[in-house]
Every structure is written in structure tokens, then in C-alpha cells.
Amino acid sequence: MTSYLIATLVAAVVAVGLGYLAHEARGARQRLRGTETSTTATLTALAGAASAAAGSRSYAERVELSGVAAPGPQGLLTSEISGTPCVWHHHKVSRRYEERRRTSGGEHRTQTRTEVVTENRSREPFVLRDEHGEVLVVPETAVDRPRKVRSEFRPETGRGGPSITIGSLSLALPASRETLGYEYEEWVLTPGTPLFVQGEATDRDGRLEVRDSPSAPLVISTRSEAELQAAHTRRALLCAGGSGLAAVAAVVMLVLGLLA
């Protein structure tokens, strides 16, 4: 009976988790549908009107914008692994290694595993530009579907303690007989990349910008609004269906356990 109860709990947890993911996908889809796409000129006019009526730094509104990426006040950035000129970048270095474990039957088995050694992304504001003007975007969250410019696996060749230099950071990597090597991955946004952005437009820092907020989670995507809505719809349907199946399995396991 114990095995049936464990299976029931596992299926119930899966059902709840998938139900939560379906709820999140429906919420993201609704936020897209419920926000009208604006232009940078409209935002500038609304921010100016709010400042005139209620004083400076009083404008805050959930918005959607479409345009292309352009350098921010700090100019072009340089990605830390490939050296690509860009407006935003994200890198990750992962260690691939073998782990030897003894099974309950006393046998030794070797499994290949991966752990992230270092990961970082830029947070400098960049510009979204449309045919009417431009506005700053503060990338406080990850970018959806950026261009991948580096995917390289470097085998471990010795035991002398390899190191890498990423920007101004010099990182010593662990070396051991179990280490197979390191995988380097990097993603960038380059000037001219088409973008869809949804977030809070505000002038609270003394300049008009779009950023993350509790009421308007920031979305920065190279996909269009229609593509994002379709993706959220598929995710909601798949997760809801999986949640329903897991719930049925939990009930079946519970009944079998009681009968046993």
C-alpha cells in the first residue's frame, strides 16, 4: 500500500505544479491581450502631461512597444566571451563531469552531470527605437529568444587547474579526473534587432524608461506579440492537460492503494 500512496503523492504534486504553470501562462496571455500597443511618441506625450498635471516623476503606466534595439546612454557593449558588439549580453559556463555512484545492489554506475560554474547578464539600459522616437529599456529580467553567438565545449586536457577570463573577472575552474570539460554559451542583442517590450513606463528616476514592476512584469522578446500569445496558449493547454491527467492518476493510485 505504501508504494501506492507514494505514487499518489507524486502524481498530486505534478498535477498541482502543472496547474500552476497553466495559470501563469494564461495570466501572461491575458496581460498581452489587455494592454494596447503604444508608440514612443505617445509615451512621451503622456509622461509630459502627467508631469504638467501632477508634478515630475509622477508618470507610471503599463505599456507595450514594438521597435528595434539600439545602444543606450553608455554606448555599445561588448559581450564577455565572444567580444560581440551588442546592447545586451548573457553568458553561462557549465562544467560537465562524471560522477560514480554505488547502487543499492552494490554495483558501481557512472553518470554524466552538469553544473553551472558562472552565469551573468548585462543590466545597462538600452534603447528601443520605433519610427516615432525612442525610449530606454532597463533589462532587469532575461531576454526571450536572444541570438546565440557561442556554444562551445572545451574538453578538460589536464589537472593543473584551468582558468578563464570573462571581462574583468578571472575565474579558476575546478580540475579533477572526473571533469570532462566546460561548455561556454553566450547570447546577445545586437543593434537593429526587432523587439517587443511590455512593462511599466515610468519617469520616477528622472527619465522616461520601461522597466519591471510587480504590476507589470517586464517582457523583452525578439518574438512578436502574436507569436508570444500563441506560445502562451500552447503552454496553457499542454500544462492544463497534463495537470488533469496527473490528477486522474493520483485518484487511481489512491483507490488502488485503499483496495490493496
Given this model, what pLDDT does residue 208 score? 92
Q: Residue 170 and residue 177: Cα distance in Å, rounded?
A: 23
Given this model, what pLDDT does residue 24 score? 84
Does residue 20 sit in helix, strand or coil?
A: helix
Are 123 and 139 a contacting pair, CB within 8 Å?
yes
Average pLDDT per 10 consecutive residues for the chain, totaling 260 residues = 76 86 83 79 87 79 94 95 96 88 72 90 95 94 94 76 58 64 95 95 88 88 87 86 85 75
Instruction: Give the torsion sign (CA, 184, 185, 189, 193).
Output: positive
Virtual torsion, Cα 203, 204, 206, 211, nearest 10 deg: -60
Q: What letter would DSSP give residue 215?
A: S
User: Interhelix angle for 2-33 vs 225-259, to 10°?
Assistant: 160
Instruction: Mention every residue, 6+ apart, whose C-beta is less than 8 A from residue 151.
Output: 183, 184, 185
Given this model, what pLDDT does residue 190 score? 97
Given this model, what pLDDT does residue 158 score? 61
Give the global pTM.
Answer: 0.80
Closest CA to 70 of 31, 3, 2, 124: 124
